[in-house]
Amino acid sequence: MGAMLGQRDDSGKKERAIYFLSKKFNECEARYLVIERTCCGLVWVTRRLRQYMLYYTTWLISRVDPLKYIFESPHIVGRVLKWQVVLSEYDIKHVMQKSVKEESCDEGNNEEQEWEMYFDGAANMHGNGVGVVIVSPEGKQFPVAIKLEFDCTNNITEYEACVNGLRAAITLGIRCLKVFSDSALIIHQVTGEWRTRDVKLIPYQELLVDLIKQFKVVSFHHLTRDKNCFTDALATLAAMIQLDCGVHVQPIQVEARSFPAYCLNVEEDREEYPWF
């Protein structure tokens, strides 16, 4: 198999080759079906180009769609499950897949203007939590952090974050919303590109369909992990904090300082001491 990693120039029209890879299949891999050999090659490429692909969206150009086969295969054998785990870390899109059409919103009405929502979930040894940040058209942020006091998988926390974020947006009277998350699995399942087979996730997806109907326009977009740090911090805080029932925590004010605290700690009336 052969692969090439390319990048478009600033004009967006010309492509420049960055990396070439080639591999000879072993005897076992050579007996795979054509689609399975494509999947095997894609996984092999992602492992060697991880530093290029991890923080960016990658367009996959191939004659067949290996992502659809891997994430929608009715027969999950050992190697397919292994490929799922490896590829779920990346944001890869097959160029032949249909893109979601977005309608425009009326900019004259504040409720009709487009808002943004970022969500993330956290599941660790301390607990489970979700974090959501809703951003108004003027840039005002509305953070939401919820502690989940029941057993969750990572994917369940992501769905809980999305559901509770949409409910908060509905409460605010938002009609047009762009949703962002670093979970490629959740985003592609919500948009219908990937099929949901986990019985624990199917009710969440059905609930999301009902919530989406309450918006005039809503679209879902994948976000790299480094651009979703704040919601990740909120989710981690909610998972780790210990609260009594009914306790309301005031919003956290985050300030920015460009100098350390001791810089202005000077007593002006004591000139005998040197200044630093």
Look up the pTM and report it. Answer: 0.52
Answer with the one of 63, 94, 125 that is the final residue of a domain.
94
> Do 80 and 177 reside in the same domain of the chain?
no
Residue 247 located in a structural domain:
no
H/E stretch holding 168 reads helix 154-171
Helix axes 202-212, 154-171, angle to 10 degrees: 20
Cross-strand partners of 5 = 19
Amino acid at 184: A
Distance CA 136, CA 174 (A): 9
Residue 76 located in a structural domain:
yes
> Do 47 and 115 reside in the same domain of the chain?
no
Answer with the one of 94, 128, 156 that is the final residue of a domain.
94
| pLDDT for position 143 | 84
Residue 262 located in a structural domain:
no
| pLDDT for position 118 | 92
Helix, strand, coil percentages, rounded to 5, for the chain: 35, 25, 40
Residue 245 located in a structural domain:
no
Burial class for 257, CB neighbours closer than 10 Å (0-12, 13-18, 19+): exposed
> Do 169 and 229 reside in the same domain of the chain?
yes
Residue 65 located in a structural domain:
yes
> Do 29 and 116 reside in the same domain of the chain?
no
Residue 74 located in a structural domain:
yes
CB 134 within 8 A of CB 142: yes
> Do 59 and 84 reside in the same domain of the chain?
yes
Q: Any idea what the CATH number is for the domain that residue 234 is in?
A: 3.30.420.10
| pLDDT for position 240 | 73
Count of CB atoms situated within 10 Å of the CB of 266: 10
> Do 212 and 124 reside in the same domain of the chain?
yes
Distance CA 158, CA 146 (A): 12
> Do 28 and 86 reside in the same domain of the chain?
yes
Distance CA 22, CA 3 (A): 6
Question: Which range marks the domain in which residue 179 is found?
Answer: 110-240
> Do 129 and 164 reside in the same domain of the chain?
yes
> Do 231 and 143 reside in the same domain of the chain?
yes
| pLDDT for position 81 | 81
| pLDDT for position 105 | 59
DSSP-assigned letter for residue 264: G
> Do 167 and 46 reside in the same domain of the chain?
no
**Residue 139 region by backbone torsions, left for phi larger than 0, else alpha for psi between -120 and 50, else beta:** left
| pLDDT for position 255 | 65
Distance CA 2, CA 184 (A): 26
Distance CA 212, CA 177 (A): 10
C-alpha triplet 235, 174, 177: angle, nearest 5°: 65
> In the chain, which stretches have pLDDT less than 50?
97-104, 106-108, 110
Amino acid at 77: V
Distance CA 40, CA 177 (A): 37
Residue 256 located in a structural domain:
no
Residue 188 located in a structural domain:
yes
For residue 209, the number of C-alpha atoms closer than 13 Å in the C-beta half-sphere is 9
| pLDDT for position 102 | 42
> Do 84 and 120 reside in the same domain of the chain?
no
H/E stretch holding 44 reads helix 34-48
| pLDDT for position 270 | 60
Amino acid at 86: V
Q: pLDDT tens digits for 123-178?
A: 877 788 888 888 888 888 888 888 888 888 888 888 998 999 999 999 888 989 99
Count of the separate structural domains present in the chain: 2
* Sign, Cα dihedral of 152, 155, 156, 160: positive
| pLDDT for position 237 | 76
> Do 157 and 185 reside in the same domain of the chain?
yes
Answer with the one of 59, 94, 129 that is the final residue of a domain.
94
CB 39 within 8 A of CB 73: no
